[in-house]
A and B are shown apart, each in its own frame.
Chain A
Amino acid sequence: MSQLPATVQLQINGRAVSVAHGVSVAAALAIAGMPTTRHSVSGEPRTPLCGMGICQECRVQINGRVRLACQTVCAPGMQVERLP
């Protein structure tokens, strides 16, 4: 196996963010100071709740697809966008 980089660079809401290897997108959002993953139907900001792929509160756009931030590991060059 090739050596893993100590950090991973990705884009969160258009901003370059650097995190440790293996960090989840849910954690990266908090590290970047942009923890909100979505706004509810009545406009409330929401952040991850269950942390294990059940509640869907952490769904975000990752490389153009809606995925769960808590079950996705950051990868180099990943594009993460908050849902509208």
Chain B
Amino acid sequence: MSGLEVCAQLRRDARFAAAKIVMLTAAAQADDVRRGLAAGADHYLTKPFSPLGLLDLIETLLPCAIVWQRG
């Protein structure tokens, strides 16, 4: 079962309506991005990705998730 199928199944289930979904995809797989968004993903992240890029995206999608403890 691909990530795209998982995404579509989660989006068909009302219990997961509030969950954010991010597709991880290799840069060359542009079609995966389009299919992921069509399947209901909120965003996508291109591999390879940096930890800070991941945190920035999560902070955007889940504003209260990250408590910055730096500096």
The answer on A and B forming one complex is: no
A interface with B by C-beta (< 8 Å): none
